[in-house]
Amino acid sequence: MKILLVGEYSGLHNTLKEALIELGHEVTLMGTQDGFKKFPVDLDYGPVISSSKIASPFVRLLYKVTRVNLTSIERALRFYVLLPKAKNHDIVQLINENSIKTAPALEKILLKRLFKNNHSIFLLSCGTDYISLKYAFDKKFRYSILTPFFKNPDLSSYYRFILAKLKPNNYRLHSFIFENIKGVIASDMDYHIPLIGHKKYLGLIPNPINLKSIRYTSMEVGDKIIIFHGINKSNYIKKGNDLFEEALKTIKNKFPERVEVISTYDLPYTDYLKSYNKCHILLDQVYAYDQGYNALFAMARGKVVFTGAEKEWLETYHLKEDAVAINALPDPKKIAEKLEWLITNPKKIEEISKNARKFIEKEHDYLNIGKKYLEVWSKSI
């Protein structure tokens, strides 16, 4: 089949592309490189002029004064120019409802052209789409990325781009996409749960991981336990980095000679992967029920990861608590308690490390995941 993947989010479409090509299909990835992460794409509609060092200050000032987003407009124009190269595909899959990353009205116009010139359209629920965000906004999750906002409404400016997804213009875009797709697939439990019962929901397909490119290193705990905390400043509150930092203060005070903490900020993805090579424990995110790519890559490498590992996820994969990952609850005291448990039981670190790799091999192997996509697509055409 001839397949077009539109948009990138943490490497999902890149890894899926690798699998589909290996399974004998022709695949084109059309996207932006996902910001500072710099993921490769075949057809790049990411901003160039508006994101340059010379233009950026003017672009930010114009947006602040007029709310005109030149970066968004540039993405739309670059996508439009690429449309002739995005025709006649058997399958088109959007990474989420804002795969072009432009204004909802422009996104709708461009998607209309894309849909007209291709065949079966599918959507991934991967990111802050309308249904999952509305579910979180209605407080149907025990906690979510909106929890800090609920606790402190003064964070409204920090959350304005997320909350904008619930506005009428974004709802119209959401409705238009759902009118035109064959179905929607969830990439993890955080998107699966809100979609249960929806007439166009095709089910959960876990994130694909190419284990050929990820080396497992057996965990050996020496005199010091190394904890890695990689921070993306734009997602600092939403990922719960403030809670991790509070927990780390407790741990550093209690185990000053036993623990080494490595913190990084806004690293390109390849540099991020290198930076936690020697760590035993990796702090990923708090407000999640399942793991995203950072956690999965680290687990594949044998790291003990603090991330989303809620009971719904445990039940789906038939796992026991703390078997392959540590559920990072939104409570710095509980995070610190789990860290202390590992520090005082280093054999547990070695055990969880082995289990984590086996779990990724069993549930996230990219070729098996690629076959699942092909099966779901084929049944829905």
Give CA–CA dist 57/24, Å, rounded.
Answer: 46
How is the chain split into domains, by residue range? 2-208+365-380, 212-363
- Rounded percentage of the chain residues whose pLDDT exceeds 90: 81
Nearest residue to 126 (alpha-carbon basis) of 42, 1, 34: 34
* 92-96, 240-244, 270-274: least confidently modelled range: 270-274
Residue 179 has pLDDT above 90, yes or no: yes
Residue 69 has pLDDT above 90, yes or no: no
pLDDT for 35 equals 61
Q: What is the mean pLDDT of residues 286-292?
A: 97
- Residues 300-323 as b or e (16 or more Cβ within 10 Å = b): bbbbbbbbbbbebbbebbebeebb
pLDDT for 52 equals 77
The CATH number of 212-363 is 3.40.50.2000
Find the angle CA(102)-CA(104)-CA(109) to the nearest 5 degrees.
90
Residue 304 has pLDDT above 90, yes or no: yes
Q: What is the mean pLDDT of residues 159-174?
A: 95
| Top-tier CATH class for 2-208+365-380 | alpha beta
Residue 307 has pLDDT above 90, yes or no: yes
pLDDT for 290 equals 97
Report whether 226 contacts 260 (CB < 8 A). Answer: yes
Q: Which two tokens stand for residue 205?
A: 């397909």
Whether 2-208+365-380 and 212-363 share one fold: the answer is: yes
Give CA–CA dist 363/337, Å, rounded.
Answer: 29
- Single pTM value for the model: 0.93
Q: pLDDT (tens digit, 9 = 90+) per residue, 102-148?
A: 999 999 999 999 999 999 999 999 988 999 999 999 999 999 999 99
Question: At 37, is the pLDDT very low, low, confident or very high (cuts 50, 70, 90)?
Answer: low
The CA R_g of the chain, rounded to the nearest whole Å, is 21
What H or E segment, with its residue span, contains residue 122? Answer: strand 120-125
